[in-house]
Homo-oligomer: A and B are copies of this chain.
Amino acid sequence: MPFLIDGLQYINWSERIFTQMREGGVDAVHVTIAYHETFRETVYRLQEWNQRFQDFPHLIRRATSAADIRAAQAENRTAILFGLQTATPIEDDIGLIEILHQMGVRIMQLTYNNQSLLATGCYEAEDPGLTRFGRQAVAEMNRTGLVVDLSHTAERSTLDAIATSTRPVTISHANPDWWHPARRNKSDVVLRALTGAGGMLGLSLYPHHLQGGSACTLKSFCDMAAEVASRYGAAHIGIGSDLCQDQPDSVVDWMRMGRWSKTRDYGEGSAAAPGFPPMPLWFRDNRDFGNIRAGLAAAGFSAAEVDGIMGDNWLRFYESAFVPA
Protein backbone atom coordinates (compact mmCIF):
# COMPACT_ATOMS: atom_id res chain seq x y z
CA MET A 1 0.00 0.00 0.00
CA PRO A 2 1.42 3.42 -0.85
CA PHE A 3 2.36 5.73 1.96
CA LEU A 4 0.93 9.16 2.70
CA ILE A 5 3.61 11.30 4.34
CA ASP A 6 3.73 15.03 4.99
CA GLY A 7 7.26 16.42 5.05
CA LEU A 8 6.50 19.30 7.41
CA GLN A 9 3.76 20.46 9.75
CA TYR A 10 3.69 22.77 12.74
CA ILE A 11 0.29 22.43 14.31
CA ASN A 12 -1.23 23.21 17.67
CA TRP A 13 -1.49 19.48 18.37
CA SER A 14 -4.63 17.97 19.86
CA GLU A 15 -6.77 14.85 19.73
CA ARG A 16 -8.90 16.63 17.14
CA ILE A 17 -5.90 17.07 14.85
CA PHE A 18 -4.66 13.52 15.37
CA THR A 19 -8.17 12.29 14.53
CA GLN A 20 -8.12 14.36 11.33
CA MET A 21 -4.78 12.75 10.45
CA ARG A 22 -6.35 9.32 10.81
CA GLU A 23 -9.39 10.41 8.78
CA GLY A 24 -7.02 11.63 6.06
CA GLY A 25 -5.03 8.39 6.12
CA VAL A 26 -1.80 10.17 6.94
CA ASP A 27 0.88 7.58 7.71
CA ALA A 28 3.62 9.92 8.87
CA VAL A 29 4.31 13.59 9.53
CA HIS A 30 7.61 15.34 10.08
CA VAL A 31 6.69 17.72 12.91
CA THR A 32 8.68 20.80 13.83
CA ILE A 33 9.58 20.91 17.51
CA ALA A 34 11.79 24.01 17.52
CA TYR A 35 12.04 27.37 15.76
CA HIS A 36 14.17 29.31 18.25
CA GLU A 37 14.22 26.97 21.24
CA THR A 38 17.36 26.35 23.26
CA PHE A 39 18.53 22.79 23.87
CA ARG A 40 16.62 22.55 27.14
CA GLU A 41 13.48 24.03 25.64
CA THR A 42 13.71 21.49 22.82
CA VAL A 43 13.80 18.72 25.41
CA TYR A 44 10.57 20.18 26.88
CA ARG A 45 9.00 19.84 23.42
CA LEU A 46 10.06 16.17 23.34
CA GLN A 47 8.58 15.71 26.82
CA GLU A 48 5.29 17.15 25.55
CA TRP A 49 5.35 14.66 22.67
CA ASN A 50 6.02 11.80 25.07
CA GLN A 51 2.89 12.86 26.94
CA ARG A 52 0.89 12.90 23.70
CA PHE A 53 2.12 9.41 22.78
CA GLN A 54 0.98 8.27 26.22
CA ASP A 55 -2.40 10.02 25.89
CA PHE A 56 -3.26 9.02 22.30
CA PRO A 57 -1.64 5.63 21.61
CA HIS A 58 -4.50 4.64 19.31
CA LEU A 59 -3.83 7.62 17.00
CA ILE A 60 -0.11 8.34 16.91
CA ARG A 61 3.27 6.74 17.52
CA ARG A 62 6.80 8.04 17.92
CA ALA A 63 8.91 7.36 14.85
CA THR A 64 12.63 7.55 14.26
CA SER A 65 12.95 5.28 11.23
CA ALA A 66 11.27 4.19 8.03
CA ALA A 67 10.45 0.92 9.81
CA ASP A 68 8.45 2.88 12.39
CA ILE A 69 6.45 4.48 9.56
CA ARG A 70 5.73 1.06 8.07
CA ALA A 71 4.61 -0.18 11.47
CA ALA A 72 2.40 2.88 11.95
CA GLN A 73 0.60 2.20 8.68
CA ALA A 74 0.04 -1.42 9.66
CA GLU A 75 -1.35 -0.28 13.03
CA ASN A 76 -3.56 2.47 11.59
CA ARG A 77 -1.64 5.12 13.47
CA THR A 78 0.23 8.21 12.31
CA ALA A 79 3.99 8.16 12.75
CA ILE A 80 5.47 11.35 14.23
CA LEU A 81 9.00 12.27 13.13
CA PHE A 82 10.85 15.05 14.95
CA GLY A 83 12.64 17.91 13.24
CA LEU A 84 14.16 21.27 14.13
CA GLN A 85 13.78 24.31 11.91
CA THR A 86 16.78 25.90 13.62
CA ALA A 87 20.27 25.06 14.83
CA THR A 88 19.67 26.91 18.10
CA PRO A 89 19.17 23.65 20.04
CA ILE A 90 22.78 22.58 19.41
CA GLU A 91 23.96 25.89 20.88
CA ASP A 92 27.73 26.21 20.29
CA ASP A 93 28.18 22.52 20.96
CA ILE A 94 28.84 20.02 18.18
CA GLY A 95 28.36 17.17 20.66
CA LEU A 96 24.66 18.00 20.88
CA ILE A 97 24.11 16.83 17.29
CA GLU A 98 24.58 13.19 18.25
CA ILE A 99 22.65 13.70 21.50
CA LEU A 100 19.66 15.09 19.58
CA HIS A 101 19.82 12.18 17.14
CA GLN A 102 19.90 9.79 20.10
CA MET A 103 16.82 11.55 21.49
CA GLY A 104 15.02 10.83 18.24
CA VAL A 105 15.42 14.05 16.25
CA ARG A 106 16.00 13.22 12.59
CA ILE A 107 16.00 16.50 10.64
CA MET A 108 17.58 19.89 11.39
CA GLN A 109 17.62 23.12 9.45
CA LEU A 110 21.02 24.82 9.47
CA THR A 111 19.32 28.14 10.08
CA TYR A 112 15.91 29.77 10.28
CA ASN A 113 15.81 33.06 8.29
CA ASN A 114 18.70 34.73 10.15
CA GLN A 115 22.42 34.07 10.31
CA SER A 116 23.08 31.09 12.55
CA LEU A 117 26.36 29.75 13.86
CA LEU A 118 26.32 27.35 10.90
CA ALA A 119 24.96 29.17 7.85
CA THR A 120 23.10 32.19 6.57
CA GLY A 121 19.32 32.51 6.51
CA CYS A 122 17.29 33.80 3.58
CA TYR A 123 16.43 37.11 5.28
CA GLU A 124 20.02 38.32 5.73
CA ALA A 125 21.37 40.92 3.30
CA GLU A 126 24.44 38.84 2.46
CA ASP A 127 25.40 35.21 2.55
CA PRO A 128 29.02 34.10 2.95
CA GLY A 129 28.17 30.38 2.97
CA LEU A 130 28.87 27.78 5.64
CA THR A 131 30.86 28.94 8.65
CA ARG A 132 33.79 27.08 10.22
CA PHE A 133 31.41 25.48 12.73
CA GLY A 134 28.89 24.92 9.91
CA ARG A 135 31.30 22.73 7.93
CA GLN A 136 32.00 20.61 10.99
CA ALA A 137 28.32 20.43 11.88
CA VAL A 138 27.32 19.16 8.43
CA ALA A 139 29.99 16.45 8.68
CA GLU A 140 28.70 15.46 12.12
CA MET A 141 25.09 15.45 10.88
CA ASN A 142 26.19 13.21 8.01
CA ARG A 143 27.96 10.87 10.42
CA THR A 144 25.06 10.54 12.84
CA GLY A 145 22.13 10.55 10.41
CA LEU A 146 20.62 13.92 11.23
CA VAL A 147 19.24 15.15 7.91
CA VAL A 148 20.30 18.61 6.73
CA ASP A 149 17.21 20.71 5.89
CA LEU A 150 17.82 23.91 3.89
CA SER A 151 14.31 25.30 3.61
CA HIS A 152 15.07 28.69 5.21
CA THR A 153 18.75 28.92 4.20
CA ALA A 154 20.03 31.61 1.83
CA GLU A 155 21.14 30.65 -1.67
CA ARG A 156 24.90 30.44 -1.35
CA SER A 157 24.79 28.69 2.02
CA THR A 158 22.30 26.25 0.51
CA LEU A 159 24.57 25.42 -2.42
CA ASP A 160 27.54 25.25 -0.06
CA ALA A 161 25.72 22.80 2.22
CA ILE A 162 24.60 20.60 -0.67
CA ALA A 163 28.20 20.47 -1.93
CA THR A 164 29.64 19.89 1.56
CA SER A 165 27.20 17.20 2.64
CA THR A 166 28.29 13.69 1.74
CA ARG A 167 24.68 12.49 2.00
CA PRO A 168 21.50 13.71 0.31
CA VAL A 169 19.82 16.67 2.00
CA THR A 170 16.33 18.11 1.91
CA ILE A 171 14.43 21.30 1.33
CA SER A 172 11.45 20.05 3.27
CA HIS A 173 8.99 22.86 2.50
CA ALA A 174 9.42 25.35 -0.35
CA ASN A 175 8.46 25.83 -3.99
CA PRO A 176 10.41 26.92 -7.07
CA ASP A 177 10.86 30.68 -7.40
CA TRP A 178 10.27 30.37 -11.16
CA TRP A 179 6.66 29.50 -10.29
CA HIS A 180 6.21 32.04 -7.52
CA PRO A 181 8.98 34.51 -6.71
CA ALA A 182 9.30 34.66 -2.92
CA ARG A 183 12.23 34.92 -0.60
CA ARG A 184 11.55 31.43 0.71
CA ASN A 185 11.12 29.78 -2.66
CA LYS A 186 14.13 28.25 -4.38
CA SER A 187 16.03 28.97 -7.57
CA ASP A 188 16.45 26.55 -10.43
CA VAL A 189 20.16 26.36 -9.59
CA VAL A 190 19.43 25.28 -6.04
CA LEU A 191 16.79 22.75 -7.05
CA ARG A 192 19.08 21.22 -9.68
CA ALA A 193 21.90 20.93 -7.13
CA LEU A 194 19.58 19.50 -4.48
CA THR A 195 18.04 16.84 -6.67
CA GLY A 196 21.28 16.15 -8.54
CA ALA A 197 22.78 15.14 -5.20
CA GLY A 198 19.85 12.82 -4.44
CA GLY A 199 17.98 15.29 -2.26
CA MET A 200 14.25 15.75 -1.70
CA LEU A 201 12.04 18.80 -2.23
CA GLY A 202 8.85 19.01 -0.19
CA LEU A 203 6.33 21.15 -2.07
CA SER A 204 4.84 23.74 0.26
CA LEU A 205 1.19 24.66 0.67
CA TYR A 206 1.84 27.71 2.83
CA PRO A 207 0.00 30.49 0.95
CA HIS A 208 3.00 32.87 0.89
CA HIS A 209 4.80 30.20 -1.15
CA LEU A 210 1.93 29.76 -3.62
CA GLN A 211 1.24 31.52 -6.90
CA GLY A 212 -1.80 33.63 -6.11
CA GLY A 213 -1.45 33.05 -2.37
CA SER A 214 -4.50 31.64 -0.63
CA ALA A 215 -6.36 31.82 -3.96
CA CYS A 216 -3.89 29.50 -5.69
CA THR A 217 -5.74 26.80 -7.62
CA LEU A 218 -5.12 23.09 -7.25
CA LYS A 219 -4.42 22.99 -11.00
CA SER A 220 -1.75 25.67 -10.78
CA PHE A 221 -0.10 23.82 -7.89
CA CYS A 222 -0.17 20.46 -9.66
CA ASP A 223 1.00 21.91 -12.97
CA MET A 224 3.93 23.38 -11.06
CA ALA A 225 4.62 19.93 -9.62
CA ALA A 226 4.60 18.53 -13.17
CA GLU A 227 7.15 21.12 -14.29
CA VAL A 228 9.29 20.35 -11.22
CA ALA A 229 9.15 16.67 -12.15
CA SER A 230 10.06 17.43 -15.73
CA ARG A 231 13.06 19.51 -14.72
CA TYR A 232 14.38 17.54 -11.72
CA GLY A 233 12.65 14.16 -11.69
CA ALA A 234 9.43 13.03 -10.00
CA ALA A 235 11.39 10.79 -7.60
CA HIS A 236 12.76 13.86 -5.82
CA ILE A 237 9.41 15.40 -4.95
CA GLY A 238 7.25 15.08 -1.86
CA ILE A 239 4.76 17.22 -0.02
CA GLY A 240 5.90 19.49 2.85
CA SER A 241 2.65 21.27 3.54
CA ASP A 242 3.93 23.64 6.26
CA LEU A 243 0.45 23.30 7.77
CA CYS A 244 0.16 25.54 10.85
CA GLN A 245 -3.37 24.66 11.87
CA ASP A 246 -5.04 25.99 15.04
CA GLN A 247 -2.09 28.21 15.93
CA PRO A 248 -2.73 31.70 17.33
CA ASP A 249 -1.06 34.63 15.57
CA SER A 250 1.36 34.88 18.51
CA VAL A 251 3.00 31.75 17.11
CA VAL A 252 3.76 33.41 13.79
CA ASP A 253 5.41 36.21 15.81
CA TRP A 254 7.51 33.60 17.63
CA MET A 255 8.55 32.11 14.28
CA ARG A 256 9.52 35.47 12.87
CA MET A 257 11.04 37.19 15.87
CA GLY A 258 11.95 34.52 18.40
CA ARG A 259 13.78 36.46 21.07
CA TRP A 260 16.25 38.19 18.78
CA SER A 261 14.20 41.25 17.85
CA LYS A 262 12.91 44.14 19.90
CA THR A 263 11.03 45.49 16.91
CA ARG A 264 8.23 43.92 14.87
CA ASP A 265 9.27 41.78 11.95
CA TYR A 266 6.62 40.61 9.49
CA GLY A 267 8.63 37.96 7.68
CA GLU A 268 6.62 36.80 4.68
CA GLY A 269 3.62 38.80 5.93
CA SER A 270 3.18 42.57 6.16
CA ALA A 271 1.79 45.19 8.53
CA ALA A 272 -1.52 44.87 6.69
CA ALA A 273 -1.49 41.07 6.91
CA PRO A 274 0.64 40.07 9.90
CA GLY A 275 -0.96 36.74 10.79
CA PHE A 276 -1.29 33.32 9.22
CA PRO A 277 -2.90 33.57 5.78
CA PRO A 278 -5.88 31.27 5.13
CA MET A 279 -5.03 27.95 3.50
CA PRO A 280 -6.29 27.22 -0.04
CA LEU A 281 -9.80 25.75 0.01
CA TRP A 282 -8.52 22.50 -1.51
CA PHE A 283 -6.04 21.97 1.31
CA ARG A 284 -7.47 23.05 4.66
CA ASP A 285 -6.18 20.22 6.84
CA ASN A 286 -4.95 16.62 6.98
CA ARG A 287 -8.21 15.32 5.48
CA ASP A 288 -7.54 17.04 2.14
CA PHE A 289 -4.54 15.13 0.79
CA GLY A 290 -6.93 13.27 -1.50
CA ASN A 291 -7.49 16.49 -3.44
CA ILE A 292 -3.78 16.76 -4.14
CA ARG A 293 -3.58 13.11 -5.10
CA ALA A 294 -6.39 13.62 -7.61
CA GLY A 295 -4.89 16.87 -8.87
CA LEU A 296 -1.54 15.23 -9.53
CA ALA A 297 -3.20 12.46 -11.51
CA ALA A 298 -5.10 15.08 -13.52
CA ALA A 299 -1.83 16.89 -14.19
CA GLY A 300 -0.54 13.81 -15.99
CA PHE A 301 1.49 11.95 -13.36
CA SER A 302 1.39 8.15 -13.48
CA ALA A 303 -0.11 6.26 -10.54
CA ALA A 304 3.37 5.26 -9.35
CA GLU A 305 4.57 8.88 -9.60
CA VAL A 306 1.57 10.09 -7.61
CA ASP A 307 2.28 7.48 -4.93
CA GLY A 308 5.89 8.63 -4.87
CA ILE A 309 5.03 12.29 -4.42
CA MET A 310 2.34 11.60 -1.82
CA GLY A 311 4.70 9.64 0.43
CA ASP A 312 6.74 6.83 -1.07
CA ASN A 313 9.57 9.19 -2.06
CA TRP A 314 9.85 10.51 1.50
CA LEU A 315 9.83 6.95 2.85
CA ARG A 316 12.66 5.90 0.55
CA PHE A 317 14.63 9.03 1.47
CA TYR A 318 14.11 8.57 5.22
CA GLU A 319 15.07 4.90 4.92
CA SER A 320 18.66 5.75 4.06
CA ALA A 321 18.94 9.23 5.57
CA PHE A 322 18.05 8.57 9.21
CA VAL A 323 20.70 5.95 9.94
CA PRO A 324 24.34 6.62 10.85
CA ALA A 325 26.76 6.71 7.93
Residues on A close to B: CB < 8 A? 36, 38, 88, 91-95, 114-117, 120, 123-129, 131-134, 136, 139-140, 258-263
Determine the residue in chain B with the shortest Cβ distance to A111: B117
Contacts of A261 in B (CB 8 A): 94, 132-133, 136
Query: B115–A114 contact, CB under 8 A?
Result: no
- Contacts A117-B117, A128-B128 supplied; 8 other A-B pairs, CB < 8 Å: A92-B259, A115-B115, A115-B131, A120-B128, A124-B128, A127-B128, A136-B261, A136-B263
Q: Can you spell out 9 A-B residue pairs with CB atoms less than 8 angstroms apart?
A: A91-B91, A91-B259, A92-B258, A93-B259, A94-B260, A95-B259, A120-B128, A136-B261, A139-B262
Query: B36–A92 contact, CB under 8 A?
Result: yes
Give this chain's copy count: 2
Query: A91–B38 contact, CB under 8 A?
Result: yes
Query: B91–A114 contact, CB under 8 A?
Result: no
Residue from A126, A127, A132 whose CB has the most chain B CB atoms within 10 Å: A132
Query: B129–A126 contact, CB under 8 A?
Result: yes
Alpha-carbon distance between A93 and B254 when the two chains are bound, in angstroms? 12
Query: A114–B133 contact, CB under 8 A?
Result: yes
User: Given A88-B92, A92-B88, A260 and B128 touching (CB < 8 A)?
Assistant: no
Contacts of A260 in B (CB 8 A): 92-94, 117, 132-133, 136
Q: Which 3 A-B pairs have the closest CB atoms?
A: A126-B128, A115-B131, A93-B259
Alpha-carbon distance between A277 and B134 when the two chains are bound, in angstroms? 29
Determine the residue in chain B with the shortest Cβ distance to A36: B92
Contacts of A124 in B (CB 8 A): 128, 131-132
Alpha-carbon distance between A4 and B126 when the two chains are bound, in angstroms? 43
Contacts of A133 in B (CB 8 A): 114-115, 260-261
Determine the residue in chain B with the shortest Cβ distance to A265: B132
- Name the distance in Å between A90's Cβ and chain B's nearest Cβ: 9
- Name the distance in Å between A288's Cβ and chain B's nearest Cβ: 35
Query: B36–A262 contact, CB under 8 A?
Result: no
Alpha-carbon distance between A139 and B128 when the two chains are bound, in angstroms? 24
| Set B123, B132, B263: member contacting A114, Cβ < 8 A | B132
Query: B128–A94 contact, CB under 8 A?
Result: no
Alpha-carbon distance between A94 and B93 when the two chains are bound, in angstroms? 20
Alpha-carbon distance between A242 and B266 when the two chains are bound, in angstroms? 43
Alpha-carbon distance between A38 and B96 when the two chains are bound, in angstroms? 14
